[in-house]
Amino acid sequence: MRSYLDLTKPRITWLILMSTGIGYFFGHSGRLDWFLLLNCLMGTALIASGTATLNQWYERDADARMKRTAQRPLPAGRVSPMNALLFGIALLVAGELELALAVNPLTAWLGLFTVASYLLVYTPLKQKTWWSTTVGAFPGAMPPLIGFAAASGQLTAEAWILFAIIFLWQFPHFYAIAWMYREDYGRAGIRMLPVVEPDGASTSRHILAFALLLIPVSLAPSFLKMTGHWYLAAALALGALFLKSAATLSGDRTALNARGVLKASVIYLPLLYLALVLDSKPGLF
């Protein structure tokens, strides 16, 4: 059972659910429907877990060639490919049914788009072009849209701002990981940007540019009256710290500084979400 749980990547799933919850919070009006929220989170967790499982099923040979992934359940032989395939499909079907029947059709369609774009477009592209990171950022930013659609049944400007924040956040986060493990990715034939250009100059420029662009976008909730002025100050401070880590890496392209960007990204998003909720206009009850 532990091996099957590992296939679902629970550490990533909690971040996905956090983003979904933020979308739901800003999409609801009036009293919060906790039962609807629970169904939304459950359906999202199931499709995220199924997607993670099928991604590992597809990439099992590449994972076997990388040190950081060689002990995953499939390359390590703890789960057979057929069992992983069936497990992943079952999770996806269950998740789609949960969203379609217990939430609303829009969330189910958004979930289906997320799964299809991730598994059928992003995953195969990883071994063809470094542009796969950009393609993968679209399904990666879908959770707040799913949450918002679950609560309101529509997608407004507020939903797309939440989408834009996590869309931009992903680039410094994943480029930092790619720089840290570029040799592993190279052995597996995965054409991440640092594999294509080993000196890291372009990678660091991308990290710096997206961290910079994230600052004005992260301020937009205040101007859309989603939050007050306290959030504005918090977003500026968090964005400045994130940008500082990106600038440090740009000046000295080392694995240690790349890890600094990764740590900053992991701290940035939950704290930004916390500031959004604490200084938000809608109420919890």
Task: Determine the pLDDT at residue 282.
Answer: 55
131 with 182, same domain: the answer is no
144 with 9, same domain: the answer is yes
Rg of the Cα atoms in the chain: 19
Q: Residue 182: which residues within 8 A CB-CB, separation 6 or more?
A: 192, 194, 195, 198, 200
171 with 136, same domain: the answer is no
30 with 124, same domain: the answer is yes
What CATH number should be reported for the domain holding residue 272?
Answer: 1.20.120
Angle at 15 between CA 6 and CA 138, to 5 degrees: 100
**DSSP of 198-217:** TT-HHHHHHHHHHHHHHHHH
Q: How far is residue 43's CA from residue 91's CA, in Å, rounded to a whole number?
A: 9
Last residue of one domain, picked from the residues 154, 185, 209 = 154
Task: Determine the pLDDT at residue 285.
Answer: 42
Last residue of one domain, picked from the residues 114, 139, 154 = 154
Q: Give the residue from 151, 195, 162 showing the smallest Cα distance to 177.
A: 195
SS3 280: strand
186 with 103, same domain: the answer is no
Angle at 250 between CA 180 and CA 219, to 5 degrees: 100
Token pair in block for residue 146: 């799913």
83 with 194, same domain: the answer is no
164 with 135, same domain: the answer is no
Cβ(91)–Cβ(47) below 8 Å: yes
Task: Determine the pLDDT at residue 281.
Answer: 66
SS3 236: helix
Burial class from Cβ neighbours inside 10 Å (0-12, 13-18, 19+) for residue 7 reads buried
Q: How far is residue 155's CA from residue 284's CA, in Å, rounded to a whole number?
A: 20
Last residue of one domain, picked from the residues 132, 154, 176 = 154
**Could you give the number of structural domains in the chain?**
2
Torsion of CA 129, 262, 179, 116, to 10 degrees: -20
12 with 150, same domain: the answer is yes
163 with 87, same domain: the answer is no
What CATH number should be reported for the domain holding residue 47?
Answer: 1.10.357.140
Q: How far is residue 272's CA from residue 231's CA, in Å, rounded to a whole number?
A: 8
Mean pLDDT, each 10-residue run in order, the chain (285 residues):
94 94 92 93 97 96 91 94 97 97 97 97 93 94 97 95 97 94 89 88 94 97 91 96 95 92 96 94 52
User: What's at 149, amino acid-wise?
Assistant: A
Dihedrals φ, ψ of 125, to 5°? Answer: -70, -20
Q: Domain range holding 253?
A: 156-285
Q: How far is residue 153's CA from residue 164's CA, in Å, rounded to a whole number?
A: 19
162 with 283, same domain: the answer is yes
137 with 232, same domain: the answer is no
182 with 46, same domain: the answer is no
Task: Determine the pLDDT at residue 40.
Answer: 97
Q: How far is residue 217's CA from residue 164's CA, in Å, rounded to a whole number?
A: 7
Task: Determine the pLDDT at residue 55.
Answer: 96
